[in-house]
A and B are shown apart, each in its own frame.
Chain A
Amino acid sequence: MLGTRLGELLQDTPEGVGEALGLVTGFDDALAHGFARLGEDRSAALAALAGALAATPLGGPVGEAVEKIRAGSVSDEHLVALAGGRAALFGAAHDALLDRLDTALGRSRPAWRPPAAEDGEVPGNLLGGCRVWLRELAITGWRGVDHDLVTASDQTLEALLSAPRLRGLAVLLDGLAAELRASCPVGTMERLPVRRWADLWTRGLLLSQAGAWDGGAEPVSGRLLILGTEVHEHSTVVRAQVHAILEPAGGAPPRLVRASVAAAKVDTITGPAVWRLLGGYPVLLGALAGHRTLEITDMPLLAGGDLVWQEERAVAGEPADPFATARILLGRASPAAVPPLDRHPVRISEPVLVEGYTTGGGAFDLGGAAIDVDVDRLPSCGPLTPEMVAASSSCLGLLRWDGGRWLLRPMAVLTTVKRKPVAAHNGDWALGPTDPKAAKAEARAGDGVAVLRERAGRLLRK
C-alpha cells in the first residue's frame, strides 16, 4: 500500500521546482565568485532571480537590490532582500514537495497560523556582528575566502554562543566557519559545496535580522509515544531530535511532534560518548533507551510542532514499541504546519514506517518504486549499521528531499543479525552502549569529556 503511494511520490518532481532551483543555482554561482566582481553572466543570473519574483511583494526590494549590487554597492539592506528572494524560491519548492508528500501519505496538514509573538530582547550588537561577517563573505565570494576572513568571525561567534536566544544562529555560523576553515584556501578546492554554503549564508543572514522566529508556545499535556531519534551534529554541537506522537489529554486527535535536546561539544567527542553531554535530560534519554512512553504536563509546544523540552514536565510511562506505535497511530496523527521562514526542502523530515521491501544497491524496492536509503549518515552514537539496514525487513525512517531526489533516513530497523531477529533504534544507547563491543571501544577511548573538563578547570579560569 505504502509502495503504491510512494510510487506516486517518486514518479517525478512537482512542476516548477526544477525552474525555481535553476534560478537559485545562478545566485549560488554569483555568491561563489563574490558580489564585488559579478561580471555579465552572474549579473544576469541575479536579474533572472529578481525577474521571477517581480510579481510578488519581494519583487520591488529584490529588483532594487540587484540593480545596486550590479552597480557595485553591496549594503546589508540589499543583501537581506536577495537572501529573502532566494529563501522564497526554496519556500515555493518546499511547499510543492511537501504537498506531494502529504498527498501520498494521506496526511492533512493544517494551514499556518501565526502564533502570539514572543517577547524578549535579542542583543542587536551581536546580530550586527554577524551581518558584517556575512556581508564580507558575500563581497569576497567563497572562492576568495582565506584564514583571515574565517578568523574574523571568531569573536562574534564566541559572544553569540553565550546568548541563549541566538543559539541556532551561533550553531549555524560556527558550523559554516568550521567548514570554511578546513577548506582554506577555498580557491584551490576541486569542488565547492555551493548550494550548501549559500543555504547556510541565506539562513544566517535571515536569522541575523531579529533572531529566531519560533514565536509563542501553547502548553500541551498527554501521552508521548516515541517513533524514533534523528541525530544532528557538527564539530561543536550534537542534537537528538526525537520524533513522537502526542495523544493529547482529553482525547483530541493524535499529533506528530518533535522534542530536541542539544549540547555543545568539541570534535574529539564522538560516538556513544556524545550521549554523556546530554546527561542533563535523564527522563527523555531514559525513555529512548528503555522504549517507554512519556507523560507530559503543560509542556510548551511551538506552532511548528516542536516541544520545548522541560524535564520537570515529563515522567516515564509504560513500555512502548515504536514500531507498534507507528502501525497503530502514524496513519492518524496530524502533522504540524511549517513556520514560513523554515520552508526549505532540507527541513522536510516526515516519519514513515516502511515494510515489505526488498533491499539492494542502497535502496528499498517497494514493489516497483525504489527509494534511496541514506546509510551514509547513520549516527555513530547508535547501533544502526549499513549492514543492518541492508538486512532489514521493516524501517522507521524520515522521508527527506535533497539534490532532486527523495531519500529515506533510517531511525530504526527490524533486521537479522547472525540469523536472529533484532530491533535497533538510533536512541538505544542513550544511557550508554548496550552492545558489548561498542561499550568496550568506548571504555578504551577513555572519558574525553572528563579529561577536557579537568584541563578546563586548571587552565580556563586563571
Chain B
Amino acid sequence: MDAERAAWERCSVVRVLPPVEPRKLAKVPFVELADGRLQGVVSSGSDIARVYVSSITAGTHTYDCSTNNNRPCGALHGSPCKHLRLLADEAVLQYGIDRVARYLRVEASGDDDLMSCLNGHPERTPSAVVFSRFLRHLAYLEVPGSTAPMAELHWFPAAGAVG
C-alpha cells in the first residue's frame, strides 16, 4: 500500500478531482462543495429574475437560504425549504452521494435521502459570498477562446468517464 502511494505521489498526471456527472441546470444552475459548505444557487420557480442562495455547512449541518438580495427565504421555518432540498438533490447527482456525505461529514450512502440524514438548524451564512462565486462561475462562459499552445494543459488530460 505504501509503495502504491509513493508511486502515485511521484506522478505528474494524477486525478485529484473526480469527473462530475452531467445534470440539468435549469432549476439549480450552480452547486459546489467549497468554503466548508455545500452551497449553490436555485432559480426561483415564480420570478425569472430571482434566485435563492442556499447552503449547508459541513460538520454542524446548519443551513441557510436567502434571495440574491439577501432577504431570508420565506419558506425557511426551522426546517429546510424546497430550495435546500433541490440543492441537496442536485449535489448528489453532480458529485455522487459518497462525495457529498464525506464533505458534509454525514453518515449517508446509496439511496439515502441526504436531507433526512442532517439535523442542523437554520443559521445565517454570508449569501453574498456564494452569490459572487456564482457570478464568477457564469463569467467563465464570457471568457474568449484561445489558440495559444499552452503546454501547461499537458498536466490536465481529459477527465475520463465517470467511474
Contacts and interface: CB of A to CB of B under 8 A. Distances in A.
Q: Do A and B bind each other?
A: yes
Interface of A: 21, 25, 147, 151, 154, 158, 161-162, 164, 167-169, 171-172, 175, 178-179, 181-184, 190-196, 199-200, 203, 207, 212, 214, 230-237, 239, 241, 258-268, 270-271, 273, 277-278, 280-281, 302, 304, 306, 308-310, 339, 342, 344-347, 349, 374, 376-381, 385, 402-404, 409, 441, 445-446, 448-449, 451-453, 455-456, 458-460
Given A342-B151, A451-B25, A455-B138, A161 B12 contact: no
Contacts of B23: 268, 445
A404 B10 contact: yes
A337 to B, nearest CB: 13
A237 B153 contact: yes
Contact of A193 (B14, B149, B150): B14
Interface residues of B, number: 61
Contacts of A271: 22
B141 A264 contact: yes
Nearest to A442: B22
20 contacts: A158-B136, A164-B148, A167-B146, A168-B149, A179-B16, A195-B10, A196-B16, A262-B146, A265-B141, A266-B137, A266-B140, A280-B145, A346-B13, A377-B160, A378-B160, A403-B8, A445-B22, A448-B24, A451-B24, A459-B51
B25 to A, nearest CB: 4
Main secondary structure of the interface of A (DSSP, over half): mixed
A441 B19 CA distance: 17
Contacts of B148: 164, 167-168, 212, 214, 260, 262, 308
A377 B158 CA distance: 5
A25 B12 CA distance: 12
A231 B25 contact: no
Interface of B: 5, 7-17, 19-26, 29, 31, 33-36, 43, 48-49, 51, 68, 94, 134-162
B interface, by DSSP: helix, strand, loop or mixed? loop
Given A171-B150, A270-B19, A262 B25 contact: no
A458 B159 contact: no
Nearest to A456: B138
A93 to B, nearest CB: 11
A195 B9 contact: yes
Contacts of B13: 196, 346, 402
Contact of B149 (A306, A344, A449): A306
* Chain A CB within 10 A, most for which of B7, B51, B143: B143
Given A234-B156, A268-B23, A268-B31, 5 more contacts: A196-B11, A233-B159, A258-B149, A263-B145, A452-B138
A263 B147 CA distance: 9
A310 B146 CA distance: 10
Nearest to B99: A182
Given A264-B141, A268-B22, A445-B23, A200 B155 contact: yes
Contact of B146 (A164, A453, A456): A164
B126 to A, nearest CB: 13
A154 to B, nearest CB: 8
Given A262-B146, A266-B141, A380 B12 contact: no
A376 B19 CA distance: 11
Contacts of A192: 9
Contacts of B16: 179, 182-183, 193, 196
A78 B146 CA distance: 32
